[in-house]
Amino acid sequence: MNRHSIFFKLNLIFLFSLATLIAFFVMMVREIQTQELRLLEKKVVTSESEIRKIIIHDGKNLEESFRSKGYRPIEDPSAIRAKLKPIFQHPPASFPETLQERIHDGRLKIYRDGNHLYFELIGPTHSRMISTPIDAYRPKWIALFFGSMIGVVLLLYWTMRRSLIPLKTLATQIRRFGEGDMTISTRSDKKDEIAYVANQFDAAVKKIKAMKEARTLFMRNIMHELKTPITKGKLSVALIEEGVEAEILRRAFSRMEELIQEMAQIELITSQSLELKMQKCDLETIVENVATLLFVEPERIKLSCHPCSIVADCDLITIVLKNLIDNAFKYGTDKRVDLCYRKDVLEVINKGAPLAQSFERMIEPFAKGSPSGSKESFGLGLYIVKSILDAHGAELSHRYEKGRHHFVITGLKPAR
Protein backbone atom coordinates (compact mmCIF):
# COMPACT_ATOMS: atom_id res chain seq x y z
CA MET A 1 0.00 0.00 0.00
CA ASN A 2 1.16 3.51 -0.77
CA ARG A 3 2.46 5.09 2.46
CA HIS A 4 1.49 8.54 1.19
CA SER A 5 -2.12 7.53 0.51
CA ILE A 6 -4.89 9.16 2.53
CA PHE A 7 -6.44 5.71 2.99
CA PHE A 8 -3.17 4.39 4.42
CA LYS A 9 -3.00 7.28 6.87
CA LEU A 10 -6.67 6.82 7.80
CA ASN A 11 -6.09 3.11 8.46
CA LEU A 12 -3.02 3.99 10.53
CA ILE A 13 -4.97 6.52 12.63
CA PHE A 14 -7.80 4.02 13.13
CA LEU A 15 -5.45 1.21 14.22
CA PHE A 16 -3.57 3.57 16.54
CA SER A 17 -6.83 4.82 18.10
CA LEU A 18 -8.14 1.28 18.50
CA ALA A 19 -4.86 0.06 20.01
CA THR A 20 -4.80 3.03 22.40
CA LEU A 21 -8.36 2.36 23.54
CA ILE A 22 -7.67 -1.34 24.08
CA ALA A 23 -4.44 -0.61 25.97
CA PHE A 24 -6.25 1.93 28.16
CA PHE A 25 -9.05 -0.57 28.80
CA VAL A 26 -6.56 -3.28 29.79
CA MET A 27 -4.84 -0.85 32.16
CA MET A 28 -8.18 0.07 33.72
CA VAL A 29 -9.14 -3.60 34.14
CA ARG A 30 -5.81 -4.35 35.80
CA GLU A 31 -6.24 -1.35 38.08
CA ILE A 32 -9.73 -2.58 39.01
CA GLN A 33 -8.36 -6.05 39.71
CA THR A 34 -5.63 -4.55 41.87
CA GLN A 35 -8.18 -2.50 43.84
CA GLU A 36 -10.39 -5.55 44.23
CA LEU A 37 -7.45 -7.62 45.47
CA ARG A 38 -6.60 -5.00 48.07
CA LEU A 39 -10.18 -4.93 49.29
CA LEU A 40 -10.18 -8.73 49.49
CA GLU A 41 -6.95 -8.71 51.50
CA LYS A 42 -8.44 -6.27 54.00
CA LYS A 43 -11.68 -8.26 54.14
CA VAL A 44 -9.83 -11.53 54.73
CA VAL A 45 -7.70 -10.06 57.55
CA THR A 46 -10.72 -8.48 59.24
CA SER A 47 -13.06 -11.44 58.81
CA GLU A 48 -10.51 -14.06 59.90
CA SER A 49 -9.77 -12.07 63.05
CA GLU A 50 -13.48 -11.75 63.88
CA ILE A 51 -14.13 -15.43 63.22
CA ARG A 52 -11.34 -16.43 65.62
CA LYS A 53 -12.67 -14.08 68.31
CA ILE A 54 -16.17 -15.52 67.96
CA ILE A 55 -14.85 -19.08 68.26
CA ILE A 56 -12.75 -18.19 71.32
CA HIS A 57 -15.31 -16.09 73.23
CA ASP A 58 -18.62 -17.63 72.13
CA GLY A 59 -17.78 -21.29 71.92
CA LYS A 60 -21.25 -22.49 73.01
CA ASN A 61 -23.53 -20.48 70.68
CA LEU A 62 -21.36 -20.22 67.58
CA GLU A 63 -24.11 -20.26 64.97
CA GLU A 64 -26.04 -17.45 66.60
CA SER A 65 -22.84 -15.47 67.13
CA PHE A 66 -21.76 -15.94 63.52
CA ARG A 67 -25.16 -14.90 62.16
CA SER A 68 -25.33 -11.88 64.46
CA LYS A 69 -22.00 -10.71 63.05
CA GLY A 70 -23.09 -11.22 59.41
CA TYR A 71 -21.45 -14.61 58.88
CA ARG A 72 -23.16 -17.79 57.74
CA PRO A 73 -21.97 -21.28 58.70
CA ILE A 74 -22.02 -23.80 55.84
CA GLU A 75 -23.63 -27.05 56.91
CA ASP A 76 -22.13 -29.24 54.15
CA PRO A 77 -18.86 -27.75 52.85
CA SER A 78 -18.12 -30.73 50.60
CA ALA A 79 -21.28 -30.01 48.56
CA ILE A 80 -20.11 -26.55 47.45
CA ARG A 81 -16.31 -26.79 47.67
CA ALA A 82 -15.95 -27.88 44.02
CA LYS A 83 -17.81 -24.75 42.88
CA LEU A 84 -15.51 -22.38 44.76
CA LYS A 85 -12.25 -20.75 43.68
CA PRO A 86 -9.31 -21.05 46.09
CA ILE A 87 -7.58 -17.74 46.80
CA PHE A 88 -4.52 -16.64 48.77
CA GLN A 89 -2.95 -20.09 48.71
CA HIS A 90 0.28 -18.10 48.90
CA PRO A 91 -0.57 -15.40 51.43
CA PRO A 92 0.63 -11.88 50.59
CA ALA A 93 3.07 -9.99 52.80
CA SER A 94 0.29 -7.72 54.03
CA PHE A 95 -1.27 -10.60 56.02
CA PRO A 96 -0.35 -10.90 59.72
CA GLU A 97 2.19 -13.61 60.52
CA THR A 98 -0.32 -15.73 62.41
CA LEU A 99 -2.68 -15.68 59.41
CA GLN A 100 0.15 -16.56 57.05
CA GLU A 101 1.18 -19.48 59.30
CA ARG A 102 -2.36 -20.87 59.41
CA ILE A 103 -2.60 -20.78 55.62
CA HIS A 104 0.84 -22.38 55.19
CA ASP A 105 0.03 -25.10 57.78
CA GLY A 106 -3.23 -25.92 56.04
CA ARG A 107 -5.38 -25.01 59.04
CA LEU A 108 -7.13 -22.31 57.02
CA LYS A 109 -8.26 -22.34 53.42
CA ILE A 110 -9.91 -19.37 51.75
CA TYR A 111 -12.32 -19.56 48.82
CA ARG A 112 -14.56 -17.20 46.95
CA ASP A 113 -17.36 -17.08 44.46
CA GLY A 114 -18.99 -14.08 42.82
CA ASN A 115 -20.26 -12.41 45.98
CA HIS A 116 -18.90 -14.31 49.06
CA LEU A 117 -15.71 -15.24 50.85
CA TYR A 118 -15.45 -18.69 52.41
CA PHE A 119 -13.16 -19.53 55.32
CA GLU A 120 -12.61 -23.24 55.92
CA LEU A 121 -11.23 -23.90 59.39
CA ILE A 122 -9.61 -27.32 59.40
CA GLY A 123 -9.19 -29.05 62.76
CA PRO A 124 -7.76 -32.44 63.87
CA THR A 125 -11.16 -34.15 63.80
CA HIS A 126 -13.51 -31.93 61.81
CA SER A 127 -13.62 -28.75 59.74
CA ARG A 128 -15.93 -25.76 59.65
CA MET A 129 -16.73 -23.39 56.75
CA ILE A 130 -17.92 -19.85 57.29
CA SER A 131 -19.05 -17.47 54.52
CA THR A 132 -19.27 -13.70 54.49
CA PRO A 133 -20.55 -11.39 51.74
CA ILE A 134 -18.15 -9.15 49.85
CA ASP A 135 -18.72 -5.97 47.89
CA ALA A 136 -16.79 -6.62 44.66
CA TYR A 137 -15.17 -3.53 43.08
CA ARG A 138 -16.61 -3.95 39.60
CA PRO A 139 -17.82 -0.67 38.12
CA LYS A 140 -20.06 -1.61 35.17
CA TRP A 141 -19.64 1.75 33.50
CA ILE A 142 -16.07 0.85 32.48
CA ALA A 143 -17.13 -1.86 30.03
CA LEU A 144 -20.03 0.25 28.79
CA PHE A 145 -17.78 3.28 28.29
CA PHE A 146 -15.10 1.41 26.38
CA GLY A 147 -17.65 -0.46 24.31
CA SER A 148 -19.24 2.85 23.35
CA MET A 149 -15.85 4.42 22.52
CA ILE A 150 -14.86 1.53 20.25
CA GLY A 151 -18.26 1.75 18.57
CA VAL A 152 -17.78 5.49 17.98
CA VAL A 153 -14.28 4.94 16.54
CA LEU A 154 -15.55 2.21 14.21
CA LEU A 155 -18.45 4.41 13.09
CA LEU A 156 -16.14 7.37 12.42
CA TYR A 157 -13.71 5.16 10.51
CA TRP A 158 -16.48 3.70 8.35
CA THR A 159 -17.99 7.15 7.72
CA MET A 160 -14.64 8.75 6.79
CA ARG A 161 -13.60 5.87 4.57
CA ARG A 162 -16.94 5.98 2.80
CA SER A 163 -16.56 9.75 2.32
CA LEU A 164 -13.07 9.30 0.83
CA ILE A 165 -14.02 6.56 -1.65
CA PRO A 166 -15.17 9.18 -4.26
CA LEU A 167 -11.52 10.35 -4.35
CA LYS A 168 -10.59 7.16 -6.22
CA THR A 169 -13.35 7.78 -8.75
CA LEU A 170 -12.28 11.42 -9.08
CA ALA A 171 -8.64 10.37 -9.62
CA THR A 172 -9.72 7.95 -12.36
CA GLN A 173 -11.76 10.64 -14.09
CA ILE A 174 -8.90 13.14 -13.87
CA ARG A 175 -6.55 10.56 -15.42
CA ARG A 176 -9.02 10.00 -18.27
CA PHE A 177 -9.29 13.76 -18.75
CA GLY A 178 -5.49 14.01 -18.90
CA GLU A 179 -5.55 11.37 -21.63
CA GLY A 180 -7.92 13.56 -23.66
CA ASP A 181 -11.32 12.11 -22.76
CA MET A 182 -13.72 15.05 -22.67
CA THR A 183 -16.82 12.92 -22.00
CA ILE A 184 -16.12 12.48 -18.28
CA SER A 185 -18.41 13.79 -15.55
CA THR A 186 -17.47 14.17 -11.87
CA ARG A 187 -20.76 15.74 -10.76
CA SER A 188 -21.72 14.87 -7.17
CA ASP A 189 -24.86 15.54 -5.12
CA LYS A 190 -23.05 15.32 -1.79
CA LYS A 191 -22.25 18.33 0.39
CA ASP A 192 -18.71 17.60 1.61
CA GLU A 193 -15.41 19.11 0.45
CA ILE A 194 -14.63 16.24 -1.94
CA ALA A 195 -17.96 16.79 -3.69
CA TYR A 196 -17.17 20.52 -3.91
CA VAL A 197 -13.82 19.78 -5.59
CA ALA A 198 -15.46 17.22 -7.91
CA ASN A 199 -18.17 19.70 -8.94
CA GLN A 200 -15.62 22.47 -9.54
CA PHE A 201 -13.53 20.11 -11.66
CA ASP A 202 -16.65 19.02 -13.56
CA ALA A 203 -17.47 22.68 -14.28
CA ALA A 204 -13.89 23.29 -15.45
CA VAL A 205 -14.02 20.25 -17.76
CA LYS A 206 -17.26 21.47 -19.33
CA LYS A 207 -15.80 24.94 -19.79
CA ILE A 208 -12.59 23.59 -21.36
CA LYS A 209 -14.63 21.30 -23.60
CA ALA A 210 -16.77 24.23 -24.77
CA MET A 211 -13.69 26.40 -25.39
CA LYS A 212 -11.98 23.58 -27.26
CA GLU A 213 -15.01 23.00 -29.47
CA ALA A 214 -15.32 26.74 -30.13
CA ARG A 215 -11.59 26.98 -30.96
CA THR A 216 -11.79 24.00 -33.29
CA LEU A 217 -14.84 25.42 -35.03
CA PHE A 218 -13.16 28.84 -35.28
CA MET A 219 -9.95 27.38 -36.75
CA ARG A 220 -11.82 25.26 -39.27
CA ASN A 221 -14.03 28.15 -40.33
CA ILE A 222 -11.00 30.42 -40.79
CA MET A 223 -9.16 27.83 -42.84
CA HIS A 224 -12.24 27.13 -44.93
CA GLU A 225 -12.98 30.81 -45.54
CA LEU A 226 -9.36 31.63 -46.42
CA LYS A 227 -8.80 28.79 -48.85
CA THR A 228 -11.29 30.07 -51.42
CA PRO A 229 -9.97 33.66 -51.77
CA ILE A 230 -6.38 32.41 -51.71
CA THR A 231 -7.10 29.97 -54.54
CA LYS A 232 -8.84 32.69 -56.52
CA GLY A 233 -5.99 35.10 -55.81
CA LYS A 234 -3.38 32.64 -57.06
CA LEU A 235 -5.38 32.08 -60.24
CA SER A 236 -5.64 35.84 -60.76
CA VAL A 237 -1.91 36.29 -60.20
CA ALA A 238 -1.23 33.72 -62.89
CA LEU A 239 -3.01 35.97 -65.38
CA ILE A 240 -0.97 39.04 -64.45
CA GLU A 241 2.13 39.82 -66.43
CA GLU A 242 5.39 38.94 -64.74
CA GLY A 243 6.78 41.76 -62.67
CA VAL A 244 7.59 42.93 -59.16
CA GLU A 245 3.93 43.29 -58.21
CA ALA A 246 3.09 39.79 -59.44
CA GLU A 247 6.02 38.31 -57.49
CA ILE A 248 4.96 40.11 -54.31
CA LEU A 249 1.39 38.85 -54.64
CA ARG A 250 2.58 35.32 -55.44
CA ARG A 251 4.79 35.24 -52.35
CA ALA A 252 2.01 36.68 -50.18
CA PHE A 253 -0.49 34.04 -51.28
CA SER A 254 2.12 31.28 -50.84
CA ARG A 255 2.86 32.41 -47.29
CA MET A 256 -0.85 32.56 -46.49
CA GLU A 257 -1.21 29.01 -47.79
CA GLU A 258 1.70 27.89 -45.61
CA LEU A 259 0.08 29.57 -42.61
CA ILE A 260 -3.16 27.66 -43.20
CA GLN A 261 -1.21 24.38 -43.40
CA GLU A 262 0.60 25.11 -40.16
CA MET A 263 -2.64 26.10 -38.47
CA ALA A 264 -4.15 22.79 -39.61
CA GLN A 265 -1.21 20.93 -38.09
CA ILE A 266 -1.59 22.81 -34.82
CA GLU A 267 -5.33 22.15 -34.71
CA LEU A 268 -4.74 18.44 -35.24
CA ILE A 269 -1.97 18.16 -32.65
CA THR A 270 -3.37 20.33 -29.86
CA SER A 271 -6.90 18.89 -30.19
CA GLN A 272 -5.35 15.51 -29.28
CA SER A 273 -6.94 14.00 -32.38
CA LEU A 274 -3.46 12.90 -33.35
CA GLU A 275 -2.93 9.14 -33.43
CA LEU A 276 0.73 8.19 -33.44
CA LYS A 277 1.78 5.49 -35.89
CA MET A 278 4.81 4.16 -34.05
CA GLN A 279 7.30 2.34 -36.25
CA LYS A 280 11.00 2.05 -36.93
CA CYS A 281 12.30 5.26 -38.53
CA ASP A 282 15.62 5.62 -40.31
CA LEU A 283 17.17 9.03 -39.57
CA GLU A 284 19.14 9.09 -42.82
CA THR A 285 15.94 8.63 -44.84
CA ILE A 286 14.18 11.31 -42.79
CA VAL A 287 17.02 13.79 -43.41
CA GLU A 288 16.84 13.11 -47.16
CA ASN A 289 13.09 13.78 -47.08
CA VAL A 290 13.64 17.00 -45.14
CA ALA A 291 16.19 18.21 -47.69
CA THR A 292 13.66 17.52 -50.46
CA LEU A 293 10.89 19.38 -48.63
CA LEU A 294 13.11 22.41 -47.98
CA PHE A 295 14.63 22.41 -51.51
CA VAL A 296 18.19 22.37 -50.14
CA GLU A 297 21.18 20.29 -51.10
CA PRO A 298 21.50 17.18 -48.89
CA GLU A 299 25.20 18.06 -48.37
CA ARG A 300 24.17 21.09 -46.30
CA ILE A 301 22.72 18.77 -43.66
CA LYS A 302 25.39 16.62 -42.03
CA LEU A 303 24.09 13.65 -40.03
CA SER A 304 26.16 11.81 -37.44
CA CYS A 305 24.30 8.99 -35.69
CA HIS A 306 24.79 5.77 -33.78
CA PRO A 307 22.38 4.07 -33.91
CA CYS A 308 20.56 5.67 -36.84
CA SER A 309 17.06 4.31 -36.13
CA ILE A 310 14.36 5.34 -33.68
CA VAL A 311 10.82 4.19 -32.85
CA ALA A 312 8.37 7.00 -33.56
CA ASP A 313 5.79 8.34 -35.99
CA CYS A 314 8.06 8.86 -38.99
CA ASP A 315 5.90 11.49 -40.69
CA LEU A 316 5.66 13.61 -37.55
CA ILE A 317 9.37 13.31 -36.76
CA THR A 318 9.99 14.48 -40.32
CA ILE A 319 7.93 17.60 -39.53
CA VAL A 320 9.94 18.10 -36.30
CA LEU A 321 13.30 17.97 -38.09
CA LYS A 322 11.98 20.01 -41.04
CA ASN A 323 10.96 22.86 -38.74
CA LEU A 324 14.18 22.76 -36.70
CA ILE A 325 16.41 22.59 -39.79
CA ASP A 326 14.35 25.27 -41.57
CA ASN A 327 14.86 27.59 -38.58
CA ALA A 328 18.58 26.77 -38.60
CA PHE A 329 18.85 27.82 -42.24
CA LYS A 330 16.74 30.96 -41.73
CA TYR A 331 18.59 32.24 -38.69
CA GLY A 332 22.01 30.56 -39.14
CA THR A 333 25.11 32.30 -40.40
CA ASP A 334 26.81 29.53 -42.40
CA LYS A 335 23.80 27.90 -44.10
CA ARG A 336 24.82 24.52 -42.71
CA VAL A 337 23.19 22.27 -40.13
CA ASP A 338 24.68 19.41 -38.12
CA LEU A 339 22.54 16.58 -36.75
CA CYS A 340 23.95 14.33 -34.05
CA TYR A 341 22.22 11.32 -32.50
CA ARG A 342 24.17 9.70 -29.65
CA LYS A 343 23.02 7.92 -26.48
CA ASP A 344 19.33 8.51 -27.17
CA VAL A 345 19.87 12.28 -27.58
CA LEU A 346 19.21 14.02 -30.89
CA GLU A 347 20.78 17.46 -31.43
CA VAL A 348 20.23 19.97 -34.24
CA ILE A 349 23.25 22.29 -34.30
CA ASN A 350 23.94 25.47 -36.26
CA LYS A 351 25.99 28.65 -35.99
CA GLY A 352 24.18 31.88 -35.34
CA ALA A 353 23.61 34.89 -33.11
CA PRO A 354 22.07 34.34 -29.66
CA LEU A 355 18.29 34.08 -29.41
CA ALA A 356 16.50 37.41 -29.33
CA GLN A 357 14.35 36.18 -26.42
CA SER A 358 14.20 33.28 -23.99
CA PHE A 359 13.75 29.75 -25.30
CA GLU A 360 10.57 29.41 -23.20
CA ARG A 361 9.10 32.37 -25.07
CA MET A 362 10.30 31.02 -28.42
CA ILE A 363 8.29 27.79 -28.14
CA GLU A 364 5.06 29.71 -27.66
CA PRO A 365 2.86 30.11 -30.77
CA PHE A 366 3.56 33.12 -33.01
CA ALA A 367 6.93 33.85 -31.37
CA LYS A 368 9.61 34.96 -33.85
CA GLY A 369 13.31 34.35 -33.64
CA SER A 370 14.42 37.49 -35.46
CA PRO A 371 14.53 40.61 -33.32
CA SER A 372 13.61 42.78 -36.28
CA GLY A 373 10.94 40.45 -37.59
CA SER A 374 12.44 40.74 -41.05
CA LYS A 375 12.66 37.00 -41.56
CA GLU A 376 9.66 35.33 -43.10
CA SER A 377 8.15 33.34 -40.24
CA PHE A 378 4.82 32.99 -38.49
CA GLY A 379 6.47 31.82 -35.27
CA LEU A 380 4.68 28.45 -35.23
CA GLY A 381 7.55 26.10 -36.04
CA LEU A 382 8.91 25.48 -32.54
CA TYR A 383 5.40 25.31 -31.11
CA ILE A 384 4.54 22.51 -33.56
CA VAL A 385 7.83 20.77 -32.73
CA LYS A 386 7.13 20.87 -29.00
CA SER A 387 3.55 19.63 -29.46
CA ILE A 388 4.68 16.64 -31.55
CA LEU A 389 7.45 15.77 -29.08
CA ASP A 390 5.00 16.03 -26.18
CA ALA A 391 2.80 13.49 -27.96
CA HIS A 392 5.85 11.19 -28.18
CA GLY A 393 6.73 11.70 -24.51
CA ALA A 394 9.93 13.48 -25.53
CA GLU A 395 11.31 16.90 -24.56
CA LEU A 396 12.93 19.80 -26.42
CA SER A 397 15.57 21.99 -24.81
CA HIS A 398 18.13 24.55 -26.01
CA ARG A 399 21.61 25.69 -25.14
CA TYR A 400 23.97 28.18 -26.76
CA GLU A 401 27.69 27.38 -26.67
CA LYS A 402 30.60 29.02 -28.51
CA GLY A 403 28.38 30.71 -31.08
CA ARG A 404 26.42 27.55 -31.86
CA HIS A 405 22.78 26.72 -31.13
CA HIS A 406 22.03 23.23 -29.82
CA PHE A 407 18.37 22.22 -30.03
CA VAL A 408 18.31 19.02 -27.97
CA ILE A 409 15.63 16.32 -28.16
CA THR A 410 15.56 13.73 -25.38
CA GLY A 411 13.13 10.90 -24.75
CA LEU A 412 12.91 9.42 -28.25
CA LYS A 413 13.05 5.62 -28.16
CA PRO A 414 15.92 4.07 -30.12
CA ALA A 415 15.21 1.02 -32.28
CA ARG A 416 16.88 -2.00 -30.71
- Its pTM stands at 0.46
Question: Tens digits of per-residue pLDDT, 90-106?
Answer: 888 889 998 989 889 88
Domains of the chain plus CATH, in order, are: 6-133 (no CATH), 177-273 (1.10.287.130), 276-414 (3.30.565.10)
Query: How far lies 167's CA from each of 1, 163, 197, 232, in Å?
Result: 16, 8, 10, 57
What is the model's pLDDT at position 273?
60
Residue 320 burial class via C-beta count within 10 angstroms: exposed 0-12, middle 13-18, buried 19 and up: buried
Q: 96-100 contacts: CB < 8 A, separation 24 or more? A: 96/45, 99/44, 99/45, 99/48
Residue 131 has what pLDDT?
A: 92
Q: If DSSP states are collapsed to H, E and C, what string results for 182-227?
A: CCCCCCCCCCCHHHHHHHHHHHHHHHHHHHHHHHHHHHHHHHHHHH
> Residues 408, 346: contact at Cβ < 8 Å?
yes
Reduced to 3 states, what is the DSSP secondary structure of residue 253?
helix
pLDDT at 59: 60
Residue 181: per-residue pLDDT: 78
The β-bridge relationship of strands 337-342 and 301-306 is parallel
Between CA 276 and CA 268 the distance in angstroms is 12
pLDDT in tens, the chain (416 residues): 567 778 888 888 999 999 999 999 889 888 888 888 888 889 899 888 888 888 887 666 778 888 888 888 888 888 888 889 999 888 888 899 989 898 898 889 999 988 899 999 888 777 889 999 987 666 677 788 888 898 999 999 888 888 888 888 888 888 888 777 788 888 888 888 888 888 898 898 888 888 877 767 777 777 777 777 777 777 777 777 777 777 778 777 777 776 777 677 666 666 656 678 899 999 999 999 888 878 888 889 999 998 889 999 998 899 899 989 988 988 888 889 999 998 889 999 999 989 888 888 888 766 655 444 444 555 667 888 888 898 888 999 999 998 999 999 999 988 87
Sign of CA dihedral 190, 193, 199, 202: negative
Task: Please tell me the predicted confidence (pLDDT) of residue 374.
Answer: 42
Report d(CA 326, CA 296) in Å as an integer: 10
